[in-house]
């Protein structure tokens, strides 16, 4: 039996729940929201959708006792309206989302939950670190989507520029899921050819491609006032990797022992959650960017009331 939960039923949480049900990846799904009315509405709506599918998922709501034997929680609680007057600043959410974690984290712990938590909530690296702290779970069992979606945006930008499918592009965006993230161009190849070679051959402006990746979420946000499909799919795909013990390498937000925080870095994702980090050697300029990003996360984490 595969058992999942989604905590927070905003735009992303609803899309996560819908994707779980329509893909049939869980036998049981428990939905949580601050509003009982919304949770019930989502339960009924998903049951209507399910009547037209060939798979079945039992959908429950608002019952923390269900978490005791739940395998995977996708944590998507937040309030996107916190960004409406602060476009360009993901940290505007921190005052809101940190309070949600302070309320929900102890409830997760009290339930006896011992599965995997995949965090979507922003600022992702800070909140993932905070969830590790408040739930008391082993660090390998709590990770965030990190720069996995930013990496896909980079691949899309490169693929479009070179007129190739993005699956032909390899490499990572690293660091904070936020303004200090960066494309580690030393890791990027297209069809096995280093981007440094292609940049010279095709006169590519890699700095502009980096900006396209970094600002990708804001382009979407400015158009429809939230993002949902890309990040929901990223989270559900990571949950599938856990269930199947896929051991895929993804740039997720996971614990860095040396830095003392969670940060977007390559890791092997499988049944244990983070099976292992996947160390890569960066040139000095990219290592400096990684450290700058880590310093930003650490500073923002230190501003939490419980850490001040």
What is the phi/psi pair of residue 246, to 5°? -70, -25
Active-site annotation holds for 11: no
CB atoms inside a 10 Å sphere around CB 24: 14
Given the residues 11, 56, 86, 177, select the one marked as catalytic.
Answer: 177
Helix axes 206-214, 216-224, angle to 10 degrees: 40
Burial 125-135 (b: 16+ CB within 10 A, else e): bbbbbbbbbbb
Instruction: Give CA–CA dist 187/257, Å, rounded.
Output: 22
Which tokens go with 118? Answer: 């995949």
What is the phi/psi pair of residue 86, to 5°? -135, 45
For tokens 């980079």, what's the residue? 154
Helix (H, G, I), strand (E, B) or coil at 250: strand
Strand order in the sheet with 72-75: 58-61, 28-32, 3-7, 72-75, 116-119, 142-144, 248-256, 261-270, 273-277
177 secondary structure, DSSP code: S
Instruction: Give CA–CA dist 101/152, Å, rounded.
Output: 27
Annotated catalytic residues are: 177
């Amino acid at each position: 039996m595969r058992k999942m939960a989604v905590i927070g039923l905003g735009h992303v949480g609803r899309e996560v729940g819908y994707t779980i049900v329509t893909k049939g990846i869980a036998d049981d799904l428990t939905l949580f929201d601050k509003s009982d009315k919304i949770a019930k509405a989502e339960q009924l709506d998903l049951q209507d959708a399910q009547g037209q599918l060939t798979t079945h998922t039992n959908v429950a709501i608002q019952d923390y006792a269900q978490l005791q034997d739940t395998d995977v929680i996708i944590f998507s609680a937040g309030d996107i309206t916190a960004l409406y007057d602060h476009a360009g600043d993901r940290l505007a959410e921190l005052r809101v989302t940190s309070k949600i974690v302070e309320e929900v984290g102890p409830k997760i712990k009290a339930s006896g939950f011992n599965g995997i938590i995949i965090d979507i909530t922003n600022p992702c690296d800070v909140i993932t670190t905070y969830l590790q702290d408040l739930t008391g779970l082993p660090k390998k069992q709590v990770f965030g989507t990190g720069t996995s979606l930013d990496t896909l945006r980079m691949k899309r930008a490169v693929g479009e520029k070179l007129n190739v499918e993005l699956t032909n592009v390899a490499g990572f965006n690293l660091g904070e899921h936020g303004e200090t993230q960066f494309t580690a161009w030393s890791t990027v190849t297209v069809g096995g050819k280093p981007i440094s070679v292609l940049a010279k051959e095709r006169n590519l402006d890699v700095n502009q491609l980096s900006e396209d990746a970094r600002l990708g979420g804001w382009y979407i946000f400015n158009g429809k006032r939230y993002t949902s499909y890309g990040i929901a799919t990223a989270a559900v795909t990571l949950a599938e990797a856990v269930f199947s013990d896929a051991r895929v390498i993804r740039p997720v937000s996971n614990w860095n022992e040396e830095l003392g925080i969670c940060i977007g870095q390559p890791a092997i994702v499988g049944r244990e959650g983070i099976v292992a980090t996947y160390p890569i050697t960066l040139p000095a300029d990219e290592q400096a960017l990684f450290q700058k990003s880590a310093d930003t996360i650490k500073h923002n984490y230190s501003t939490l009331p419980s850490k001040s």
